[in-house]
Amino acid sequence: MNPPNRLPASVLATVLVVSALMLLSVLGVLALWEADFLFFSRAGYLSRQRANVESAFILYAADSTLTERLDEQGGLRLYDSLPDSRVRIAVRPWGLYEAVRVEAADPRIAPTRLFGSAAASDREGTLRYATDAAALTLTGRSVLHGRLLLPRHGVQYGQIRSIFFRGERIEGARTAYDGKELPSVRDDARRMTDSLLRLLEAPGVWEAVTDSLEVSFGETEPRLLDAAGLSESARIGGMAVLLGEEVSIDSACRLRDVLVVGRTIRVGDGFRGRAQLFASDTVLIGQRVTLGYPSGVFVARENPDRYIEIGPDSRVEGYAIVDGDGKPAIKRANYRQDRTAVLRGLLWADGAAQVQGIVSGSLVANSLVYYSSEGYYEDMLYDMTLLENPAAAYPLWAEAVYRRKEAGWVP
């Protein structure tokens, strides 16, 4: 009888090694599966948190009572059944916009965005001309689109020297009488501009400016910087206020989302950036300047010689506001816009305004004048194009129905 077949002892070691390798492979697959599960679970959580932040921004834009419903920490649960849908909302005025910061349940997700108004004022219209004049005269290549709120006798077509009207004639269905008064200005907007200009009276609290500075909108207070030390190559961004009697901004400067406050502000040829400029006297914008959206230019009402000038081939995206007392004097201009310049947003001129070029958005004025070498022409627009702009987010300046609109993201 033959003895049974026996395996050599070395096979046991082989079996153990193979079994260990198989076990390690299974454990590796399980580890990878768990890592993928955790990754996708975390990605899903972050995706929900970002969606909650977007929902909070949308809710803020539509609901005027939202800030009243926040708890003591500024918190709000978006969905009662979801504990991780709680967000914190902080709103602060930033120039003539609002800086809205939304922090998710995960505090690493806390973006800030600038908001304006979906409406320029309490009555819709691309043009509101509040004057006791009988009519507005159009001449040259003037084109006015949208709804027009005009003097009692609407528009008439005239000439300057040998230049006749050669634009688009206006149908009566697009016009209406608006009265003699400009829309009401928001009380908080006036308080904001007055408080910014009062900062010029306290130079002792200004800090020296550095060549590079980024101030988060999560800080409790803005940084007040002495603009006298602003270098040609400075890079300033975020919640910073540049202050000085006479402020000059060189074309090589890089400004983003800052406020600039001065008696006189000059923006050099070729400058590109985002800023809101507030002056008690004068703002001069040179040639080929781009103040990107959302930016703005403002001069205060106290000085009868207040003045804004937007130079050739320049572009202001946001607003230009000449504040006033509703009693314009036409002997000299308070606002001039070159015929090759563009303003996108709100042009508010409570004072004598020579408006040429393009305004895309809303023009509110009480004294439109064209100045020439032989004198001036009252209640006239010459070579001016006015376009509708449903995408504009207007500054929070005039009284209007609560409809916020996102104006820009803060990096």
Buried b (16+ CB within 10 A) or exposed e, 73-111: eeebeeeeeeeebbbbbbbeebbbbbbbbbbbbbeeebb
pLDDT tens by residue, 11-52:
667 777 778 878 887 877 777 766 655 655 666 788 888 888
Instruction: Pinpoint the alpha helices (H) of 278-381.
Output: none
User: What does the pLDDT read at residue 93?
Assistant: 94
User: What does the pLDDT read at residue 296?
Assistant: 97
- pTM (2 decimals)? 0.87
Identity of the residue numbered 17? V
Q: Which residue has the tokens 């890079």?
A: 235
Going residue by residue through the chain (411 aa), what tens digit of pLDDT does each one get? 555 666 576 666 777 777 887 888 787 777 776 665 565 566 678 888 888 888 989 998 998 888 888 888 788 888 888 788 888 899 999 999 999 999 888 888 889 999 999 999 888 889 999 998 999 999 999 999 999 999 999 899 988 888 888 888 988 778 898 888 999 999 999 999 999 999 999 888 898 988 899 999 988 899 999 998 888 889 999 999 999 999 999 999 999 999 999 999 999 999 999 999 999 999 999 999 999 999 999 999 999 999 999 999 999 999 999 999 888 887 889 999 999 999 999 999 999 999 999 999 999 999 999 998 888 889 999 999 999 999 999 999 999 989 999 999 887
- Report the candidate in 53, 196, 130 with the shortest Cα–Cα distance to residue 364: 130
Structure tokens at 224: 């007040």
Identity of the residue numbered 86? R
Diameter of the chain measured on Cα atoms: 136
Structure tokens at 257: 């989302």
User: What does the pLDDT read at residue 41?
Assistant: 61
CA distance to 45, 285, 298, per residue, from 310 (Å): 48, 5, 12
Say if strands 296-299 and 272-285 run parallel, antiparallel, or are unpaired: parallel
pLDDT tens by residue, 246-291:
999 999 999 999 999 999 999 999 999 999 999 999 999 999 999 9
Contact status, residue 153 vs residue 134, Cβ threshold 8 Å: yes
